[in-house]
């Protein structure tokens, strides 16, 4: 961070105007303005008075530190973004480079500066933009060694897309090692590489597996959220979540069984005899469709184990046994339930 940035940061912290600061130091307001915009530097004799006025040390004023605070980085990043819209890219780049050299161990500063400068040259027409590649990529590579996991992952993602854009697919794929093996984002990026390198079958399968597994996760989240509303006695939201689960199962083509089975917990909680009986009947009737997702075009590149008819029979028996639980004691007298649990 430049001396000007430091002065601006701490002056504003004190709620002091440039005019007030100038008056206290015996200088002109334009002089303070030039300091803060890095147009000039304070006279060496003024450094101690400025530091005392701002309530900081001269080391802080001159940025003799290994790192910056998050607030200081935010100030720098905001100014960097503003400068990139009003000044020449090359000039701003060189200034940012000097700041990074002053704080070589500040990973947050390094990462955010690299990302902003890379994004600007990607989106705008910057003359000879490739000449900045080595420096920006080197900064991002350094971020891969950061102790901050978020910075490592974000830097790896930036490098992945940068090399993907250059059609350097092998290099792009190498950065996926910074993502967890079971990370959905890693699998999605692998699918992108597959699609770009002529491995269409693998790409289709990877995307379909993401659809399938993310439905399972979404279903669990909706189920947990529904149970939370049940605990709070919110009937309206509990049924709303049931409806959302049904729509999700239909949208992801998971089959009739997944669509009809989600309301049983709420009907049981409410001890609603007619709803419980209707849902139980739908569940038992849909057992033969429990594996329908395997025939969906959405998952046509995936391989599923063929459903064993004996499994369906065992599941039917297990569901019926479950209906005999004391939880469903309120169902006594219902014709369908009585007939089902007695195995007539």
Looking at the fold, whether 218 and 326 belong to one and the same domain comes out as yes
Query: What's the pTM?
Result: 0.74
Looking at the fold, whether 59 and 79 belong to one and the same domain comes out as no
In the predicted model, is pLDDT for residue 46 greater than 70?
yes
Residue 186 lies inside a defined structural domain of this protein: no
Domain at 19, CATH number: 1.10.260.40
Q: Which of 48, 64, 80 is the last residue of a domain?
A: 64
Residue 7 lies inside a defined structural domain of this protein: yes
Helix (H) or strand (E) holding 271: none
Size of the chain in residues: 344
Residue 185 lies inside a defined structural domain of this protein: no
Per-residue pLDDT of 269-315, as tens digits, reads 999 999 999 999 999 999 888 889 999 999 999 999 887 888 888 88
Q: What is the mean pLDDT of residues 177-195?
A: 94
Domain count, the chain: 3
Looking at the fold, whether 115 and 148 belong to one and the same domain comes out as yes
In the predicted model, is pLDDT for residue 170 greater than 70?
yes
What percent of the chain has pLDDT above 70?
A: 98
Look at residue 49 in the predicted model and tell me its pLDDT. Answer: 92
In this structure, what are the phi and psi dihedrals at residue 301, rounded to the nearest 5 degrees? -100, 0
Residue 188 lies inside a defined structural domain of this protein: no
Looking at the fold, whether 105 and 43 belong to one and the same domain comes out as no
Looking at the fold, whether 205 and 160 belong to one and the same domain comes out as no
Looking at the fold, whether 48 and 77 belong to one and the same domain comes out as no
Helix (H) or strand (E) holding 9: helix 3-13
Q: What is the mean pLDDT of residues 329-333?
A: 93
Looking at the fold, whether 118 and 166 belong to one and the same domain comes out as yes
- Cα–Cα distance measured from residue 13 to residue 295, given in angstroms and rounded to the nearest whole number: 64
Domain range holding 15?
1-64
Looking at the fold, whether 222 and 326 belong to one and the same domain comes out as yes
Burial class (CB in 10 A: 0-12, 13-18, 19+), 326: exposed
**Concatenated DSSP letters of 149-186:** HHHHHHHHHHHHHHHHHTT-HHHHHHGGGGS-TT-HHH
- Cα–Cα distance measured from residue 138 to residue 159, given in angstroms and rounded to the nearest whole number: 10
Looking at the fold, whether 242 and 314 belong to one and the same domain comes out as yes
Looking at the fold, whether 272 and 298 belong to one and the same domain comes out as yes
Looking at the fold, whether 169 and 235 belong to one and the same domain comes out as no
pLDDT band at residue 206 under the 50/70/90 scheme: very high
- Cα–Cα distance measured from residue 289 to residue 253, given in angstroms and rounded to the nearest whole number: 12
């Amino acid at each position: 961070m430049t001396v000007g940035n430091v002065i601006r940061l701490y002056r504003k912290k004190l709620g002091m105007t440039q005019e007030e600061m100038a008056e206290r130091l015996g200088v002109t307001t334009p002089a303070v303005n030039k300091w803060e915009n890095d147009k000039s530097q304070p006279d060496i004799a003024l450094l101690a008075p400025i530091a005392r006025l701002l309530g900081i040390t001269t080391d802080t004023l001159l940025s003799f530190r290994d790192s910056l605070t998050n607030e200081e980085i935010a100030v720098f990043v905001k100014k960097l973004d503003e400068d990139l819209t009003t000044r020449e890219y090359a000039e701003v780049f060189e200034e940012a480079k000097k700041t990074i050299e002053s704080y070589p161990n500040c990973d947050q500063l390094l990462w955010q500066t690299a990302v902003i400068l890379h994004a600007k040259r990607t989106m705008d027409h910057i003359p000879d933009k490739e000449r900045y590649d080595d420096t920006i990529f080197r900064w991002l590579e350094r971020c891969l060694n950061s102790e901050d996991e978020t910075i490592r992952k974000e830097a790896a993602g930036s490098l992945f897309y940068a090399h993907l854009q250059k059609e350097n697919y092998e290099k792009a794929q190498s950065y996926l090692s910074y993502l967890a093996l079971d990370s959905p984002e890693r699998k999605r990026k692998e699918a992108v590489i597959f699609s770009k390198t002529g491995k269409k079958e693998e790409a289709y399968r990877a995307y379909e597996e993401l659809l399938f597994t993310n439905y399972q996760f979404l279903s669990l989240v909706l189920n947990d959220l529904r149970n939370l509303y049940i605990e709070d006695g919110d009937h309206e939201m509990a049924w709303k979540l049931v409806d959302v689960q049904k729509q999700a199962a239909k949208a992801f083509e998971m089959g009739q069984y997944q669509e009809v089975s989600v309301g049983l917990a709420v009907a049981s909680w409410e001890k609603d005899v007619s709803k419980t009986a209707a849902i139980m009947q739908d569940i038992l009737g849909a057992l033969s469709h429990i594996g329908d997702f395997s025939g969906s075009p959405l998952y046509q590149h995936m391989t599923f184990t063929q459903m064993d008819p004996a499994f369906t029979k065992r599941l039917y028996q297990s569901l019926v046994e479950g209906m005999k639980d004391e939880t469903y004691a309120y169902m006594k007298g219902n014709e369908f339930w009585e007939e089902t649990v007695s195995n007539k």
